[in-house]
Structure 1
Amino acid sequence: MSKEELRKQHQAELARQKNEETARRLAGGGSAGAEGRGPVRTSSELIAYKNANDIPFSKELAIQVDQKNESILLPIYGSMVPFHVSTVKSVTSHQDNRTCTIRIIFNVPGTPFTPHDANSLKFPGATYLKEITFRSKDPRHSSEVVQLIKTLRRHVASRESERAERATLVTQEKLQVSGNRMKLIKLPDLWIRPSFGGRGRKLTGTLEAHVNGFRYATSRPDERVDIMFANVKHAFFQPAEREMITLLHFHLHNHIMVGNKKTKDVQFYVEVMDVVQTLGGGRRSALDPDEIEEEQRERERKNRINMEFQNFVNKVHDLWAQPQFKGLDLEFDMPLRELGFHGVPHKSSAFIVPTSTCLVELIETPFLVVTLSEIEIVNLERVGFGQKNFDMAIVFKDFKRDVLRIDSIPSSSVDGIKEWLDTTDLKYYESRLNLNWRPILKTITEDPEKFIEDGGWEFLNMEASDSDSENTEESDQGYEPSDVEPESASDDEGNDSESLVESDEDEEDSEDSEEEKGKTWEELEREASNADREKGDESDSEDEKRRRKAKALGKSRIPDRRDPKGAPPKRPKFK
């Protein structure tokens, strides 16, 4: 059997196994691999001041901003009324020729795009202030107050969002720092992605492997990340070959905070060559000794960095080989570049590379890490003749998860992708159009029994549908009425064939007889000229006929000047 036939046979077996597995999972209630999403903790009540004595006293009735208590004091009917800055939705100022107007809009529960806070549930019958406007003759003070309110509001909003994200994090175990600093496994001068926040200059850090996890730290005390071994789902080591960086990438089970960002992917990398090149100084020759020396220096630096990363990975592998880490099944995976292909997983084109357990893209952000064991099926869309590109739709076992699309894959990569999917025991289908997967998955989850009865994923099998249509066409062509007898039909066919043969022989005899009694060339020319004349007379209009007739009469009446008697001239003799 050829390689294509073996692949089709294996895919048919995978389709049977996949339908059985999906039927068992749907019958068991739910989709496998669903991530546990805990309820988001609601923020506590926002209190500006616990009692009236804490409100700062002010003789001047003007808008004030209390940075310490995160509140603003507004003069309303001769009294200073405090509001927490989180209740402010927006603040704007408008300056006229003489006065300046400050407009403050508050968050009111029940309005569109405004969530219900704890106070609306606690005081359901309360009346809320929605908007207030002040006029001032001091534009300097007005602009200063508006700027302070906006800055304080932005600071409180970022802190509350970070607190809400931290509330959904899974509590990690504490890092056990290794006591022996001499035998510590570490890799210096690394950059981290995602980077820490802040406006200061970014610094490189050191990655250290301790008793139960990694720690990355810079010289700043607040820039520190701990990654526990138990939280590592996949670890990747990608040396620089055609890229500018050598990297270590960790894909985690649960989110962690890197600075003020919540992430599941943490990457440490080193640039093996300068990304920025100096342009100028004219064109340099390929045989320039300085150019050759620079390339040699870059090659040596790349090899040295790759070797340092490889030594770190080997030492960590020895650490993970200890009995307490056997159950975690941890190892650094390396991408298989020969199986890679170009595609658009997010917004820009990238080089996507398979590994033994995943499909990854670790150079461009946002990163792409797809676990192969979580994939249900793969559908190759827009596959057909004349197409330069096709798309890949990855359906996960968790049907609540959105289908991942990798667009604009070159058609030259389709055979390699099919071979890779088949060797990794992943069932794939082909279609000529893009499918809308959300309603398809919704229909499957709403009525799984009907999905199983209809053959499962075989509705995507394009070859089976084509063979069914061919079978229907053959059945239509082979249909015969029941009242027709086969013998009479065969007799009629024989008679028809005999009559056809006889008529052909009669035609041949008549043609031979006509050729024997053929007309001469003069007769044929005469008939042709008469036919042309008749056709011209029929097609000409009445005016043309009259004009032709008058012209002929005029020629016959004009005498020849050389003949006094008016006799027609003699026709010349042609040789």
Structure 2
Amino acid sequence: MTEFFVEEMSAILDEEKQVKQKDLMDKIDRKLDDPKFFKSLKTKLPGDFDSTQLDWCFGPTIQSGGQYDLKLSATSDSNMLHPGIIICGLGLRYKGYGSMVARTFMVDPNSSQEQDYKLLSAIQDMLIREAREGVVVKDLYNKAISMIKSKKPELEKHFQKNIGGGIGFETRDSTLLVNAKNTRQLKDGMTLTLAPGFTDIENPNPQDKKSRTYSLFLCDTVRVLGGKQDEAANFTNGASTEIGTVSFYFKDEEEEEAPKERSKKKDSKVGAVASNNIVKTKLRADRGKNQQDEGAEQRRREHQKELSEKKQRQGLETYTESTADTNGVQQKKFKKFESYKRDNQFPSRVADLAIVVDVKAATIVLPIMGRPVPFHINTIKNASKSDEGDFAYLRINFLSPGQGVGRKDERDPFEDPNAHFIRSLTFRSKDADRMADIAQQVTELRKNAVRREQEKKELEDVVEQDNLLEDRTSKKARLDNVFVRPGLDGKRIAGEIAIHLNGLRYNDPRGQKIDVLFSNIKHLFFQPSAHELIVIIHIHLKDPIMIGKKKAKDVQFYREATDMAFDETGNRKRKHRYGDEEEFEQEQEERRRRAQLDKTFKNFAERIQAAAPEAGVDIPFRELAFNGVPNRSNVIMQPTQDCLVQLTEPPFTVITLEEIEVVHLERVQFGLKNFDMVFVFKEFHRPPAHINTVPVESLESVKDWLDSVDLPYSEGPLNLNWSTIMKTVTADPHQFFKDGGWSFLTMESDDEEEEEEEEESAFEMSESDLAASEESSEDESDFDNDASADEGDGSDDDESGEDWDELERKAKKKDREGGLEDEEKPKKKGNKR
């Protein structure tokens, strides 16, 4: 596997391809199930090797570009493979036993990186050599620390706290962690992973921003041997750790000499190398990409500035002085409650001057001053019963202004808040059971009234649809064996959907139906089965409709794209068939079935569009998708031409882009792995829509998408109180836009950038200081070169190495000119192209 990775990596870097680390990882992952790959390795593998017994212990990981995680459970991200320090690791399990190997590959390394790697390789050799029977585990770690202190003490703080552990049936035995605290002794037969590494080392000569820091990591799987063995048995020594094997040199002779010539030329204005001569990256493809990204970022900022100014002008034009009189708030009307219109409607029991709870009229009749007085349940806050001595007390509290929280006053407005109100009434009785029963009845009556009020409020926007005009001909389009969401009452049963003259009708075998008129369709979506388990036709409605007893604004028709999974391990046919022909045939059949299903649903969606021209078919863009939490679960949000949708899991999310005023990105700051999105609607009384916990890796793609659809966005490090913000906006929209509108969202980030610029300018170096620092750096580089020469194995080796490098550079130059064939190129042992 390591040889395959080396070949792929060198080809990518040599040809200057742009390949994502995750894609390269997936390519290596697929090799585990490729029988041709193991046939090519037949000469290197034992005769009894069985590839079906091989499985991943830790998936392959590839890390580069200054972002490294040296944990065994680390995964590759979607960044491009970046030349420089590249760490590759994988773990395999054969017949239940696990093993781990990791290597660090260096592309055009500088002298500091080479010296650090030599030290790490020496530490790894020492650990393998000292891992003998009877050795205490912490002594291994302490010997590694002693070696670092003696050779490069500044790297001690970058050395990992745990540098390995036990491995076998378990991927990591916590009792055998190789650290400074483990007092366990090694015994014959123990299997360990020895994984030393340095993290976040500052690069003294960074070529670009991604090379400012780097990490180094090695891992081998060894077995402790008993007796007088000198060192442990290394199971992964096939992947060499020699610096000549892991180093790659792609820099041409002209590119090496150019920086030396440039360094001699000084800019008279700043006394340093001219900024236009500094090359940020070594690869031409990366240089073009960085320049392109910077240009795209600048264009995006200018476009966002234009969008913000346009939004500010529109706000001032829309909300003039006259609109401020209504304060932008929907005035709540006082609701009058009437219990009885005439005296003869009172319950007959009121003649006894007792407390009567009239459930039918939602009223409680109380005896006051010898007269029955009715109180509607909507005027009562609560009722409670308490005991004191021989008496039971019933206390009834009424709603009145100024009872603390302002929300209650908004919920229950009063006709004249300045009038006198009865706050509570208390009744005393010796019948405690009677008082408890009345308090319970009042409580239940109050709960029922609140529930009815909520149901009425929820159904306010539900409109009664016109009657569906049926198409009784046999030519109407049908789609059978489909399910509907939200589901109808009872067990889930597949039904049929048909296109009629003015709408759609869904029927199930039980006779239940759902009608959707074309005039009520706001958006029509078709989502294919690619990367999903179902194929979907989704309809987002203008006005909600009732499906069963529930209100619904989204109706979805779907069919499962795959059959139910079943276990084939006990199949007799598989017992005598060791190849993958059957699995391949099943995969091919599933692909054909998915393609046919997508075609069927897409044709039906296009027929709906033909019958209702206003409802165009919209298909989500999977390549622009990002993860987020619009409700409670983490789902995939997918942009479409007109919306941002999530159609796979209920509750569904459909955000129309035309209805968006601005978008604000919250929790955008260094160190956080996620950020939140807030969509503010043009109808300010609508609460903003939130999509939380979006991975920070999607930040740039989200910004590009928002900018491409002309949505102004802003970003900030904190979560804002949007209920308070929207109250301020709706109270007086004209004054809000007069004071700057949504520009307050970007003020904080602009202030932070200005502070950072001021801090940087305060520490600017003068010309004399800069010249002095350059002279000192030259002296230090001379000292480093002398020290490295003293640490070398010999002058003869160094001279021969220089001759080989010179021959190889000449060979590369001639190869570009077509002067040498492949077999004539000089090859240096340990270097690969």
Report the TM-score when normalising by structure 1. Answer: 0.59
Structure 2 residue aligned with 1:211: 501
Following superposition, the deviation at residue 52 of structure 1 comes to 0.7
Corresponding residue number in structure 2 for 1:130? 424
Partner of 2:609: 320
Matched, 1:151 2:444: yes
Per-residue deviation, residues 87-107 of structure 1 (Å, max 9, x unmatched): 332233457897654433233
Structure 1 counterpart of 2:523: 234
Quickly say closer, same or farther: Cα 1:127–1:359, change in 2 above 3 A.
closer
Where in structure 1 are there 5+ consecutive unaligned residues?
Answer: 32-36, 278-283, 480-492, 494-575
Q: Secondary structure at the match of 2:383?
A: strand
Instruction: Trace 1:393-408 onto structure 2 (pairs within 5 A).
Output: 393-394=678-679, 404-408=689-693
Aligned residue number for residue 48 of structure 1: 339
Q: Residue 376 of structure 2 corresponds to which residue in structure 1?
A: 84
| C-alpha distance in 2 between matches for 1:128 and 1:73 | 15
Change (3 A) 1:382 1:142: closer
Q: Which amino acid in structure 1 is aligned with residue 622 of structure 2?
A: R
- Equivalent pairs counted in the alignment come to 457
Distance in 2 (CA, whole Å) between partners of 1:80 and 1:107 is 20
* Alignment-derived partner of residue 513 in structure 1: none
Q: What are the Cα deviations for residues 138-159 of structure 1, in whole angstroms up to 9, with x where unaligned?
A: 72x5555444443333333322
- The 2-side partners of 1:202 and 1:119 are apart by 45
CA distance in 1, matches of 2:681, 2:647: 21
Q: Aligned AA for 1:4?
A: D
1:82 alignment partner, SS class: strand
Measured after TM superposition, the shift of residue 4 of structure 1 is 1.4
C-alpha distance in structure 2 between counterparts of 1:384 and 1:402, whole Å: 25
1:121 aligns with 2:411: no
Secondary structure of the residue aligned to 1:49 is coil
Using a 3 Å threshold, how does the CA distance of structure 1 residues 237 and 155 change in structure 2: closer, same or farther? farther
* Structure 1 residues 234 and 154: CA distance shift in structure 2, 3 A: same
Indicate if the aligned counterparts of 2:463 and 2:543 stay in contact, CA closer than 8 A: no
With over 3 angstroms needed to count, the CA separation of the structure-2 counterparts of 1:138 and 1:47, relative to structure 1, is same
Please list the CA deviations of residues 268-287 of structure 1 after superposition, one character each: whole Å capped at 9, or x if unmatched. Answer: 55677899x9xxxxxx9763
Answer with 150-159 or 297-306: which moved more: 297-306
> Residues 158 and 273 (structure 1 numbering): CA distance in 2 closer, same or farther, change over 3 Å?
farther
Secondary structure of the residue aligned to 2:415 is: helix
Contact kept, 8 Å, 1:381 with 1:391, in 2: the verdict is yes
After TM superposition, give the deviation of residue 415 of structure 1 in Å: 4.6
For 1:434, give the aligned amino acid. Answer: L
Report how far residue 51 of structure 1 moved. 0.8
Task: Answer whether contact 1:185 1:209 (CA < 8 A) is retained.
Answer: yes
In structure 2, the partner of 1:434 is 718
Aligned residues of 2:715 and 2:745 also touching (Cα < 8 A): no
Answer yes or no: is 1:357 the counterpart of 2:647: no
Q: Percent identity?
A: 30
Q: Distance in 2 between the 1:358 and 1:376 partners?
A: 14
The equivalent position to 1:370 in structure 2, one of 629, 650, 655, is 655
The alpha-carbon distance between structure 1 residues 478 and 357, as it changes in their structure 2 partners (threshold 3 A), is farther
* Cα distance in structure 1, aligned partners of 2:679 and 2:413: 44
CA distance in 2: counterparts of 1:145 and 1:296, whole angstroms: 73
* Distance in structure 2 (CA, Å) of the matches to 1:202 and 1:346: 26
Give deviations 1:87-130, integer Å, cap 9, x for gaps: 33223345789765443323335544554899953897565463
Residue among 545, 548, 569 paired with 1:287: 569
In 2, distance between residues paired with 1:176 and 1:202?
26
Amino acid at match of 1:121: E
Change (3 A) 1:6 1:95: same
Q: In the alignment, is the contact (CA less than 8 A) between 2:334 and 2:414 conserved in 1? A: no
Aligned position for 1:499: none
Q: Contact 2:637/2:644 (CA < 8 Å) preserved in 1? A: yes
Q: Alpha carbons of 1:95 and 1:237: their partners in 2 closer, same or farther (altered >3 Å)?
A: farther
- RMSD, matched Cα: 5.5
Q: Distance in 2 between matches of 1:43 and 1:450?
A: 33
CA contact (8 A) 2:307 2:711 kept: no
Q: 1:103 aligns with which of 371, 395, 414?
A: 395
Distance across 2 between alignment mates of 1:149 and 1:446: 46
Letter in 1 for 2:674: N
Tell me the secondary structure at the aligned position of residue 161 of structure 1.
helix
Q: Is the 8 A contact 1:343 1:349 kept in 2?
A: yes
Within 1, Cα distance between the matches of 2:402 and 2:715? 48
Structure 1 counterpart of 2:483, one-letter code: L
Contact 2:468–2:515 (Cα < 8 Å) also in 1: no
Give the secondary-structure state (helix, strand or coil) at the position aligned to 1:345. coil
SS state at 1:28 partner: helix
Displacement after TM superposition at 1:180 (Å):
1.5
Letter in 1 for 2:718: N
Distance change in 2, residues 1:62/1:426 (3 Å): closer
Query: 1:109 touches 1:116 (CA, 8 Å); kept in 2?
Result: no
- After TM superposition, give the deviation of residue 57 of structure 1 in Å: 1.8
Quote the Cα distance in structure 1 between the aligned partners of 2:585 and 2:339. Answer: 65
Structure 2 residue runs without a partner (length 5+): 1-287, 321-327, 575-581, 772-833
CA 478–181 in structure 1, closer or farther in 2 if over 3 Å, else same: farther
Indicate the residue corresponding to 1:190 in structure 2. Answer: 483
Structure 1 pair 53–23 and aligned structure 2 pair: CA distance change class (3 A): closer
Instruction: Calculate the TM-score normalised by the size of structure 2.
Output: 0.44
Between the aligned partners of 2:567 and 2:411, the Cα distance in structure 1 is 69
CA 1:45–1:237 in 2, change beyond 3 Å: closer, same or farther? Answer: same
1:17-56 equivalent positions in 2, closer than 5 A: 17-30=306-319, 39=330, 42=333, 44-56=335-347
Partner of 1:389: 674
- 1:410-425 to 2 correspondences below 5 Å: 410-421=695-706, 423-424=708-709
2:372 and 2:403 map into 1 onto residues whose CA distance is 27
CA change 1:417–1:170 in 2 (3 A) is same
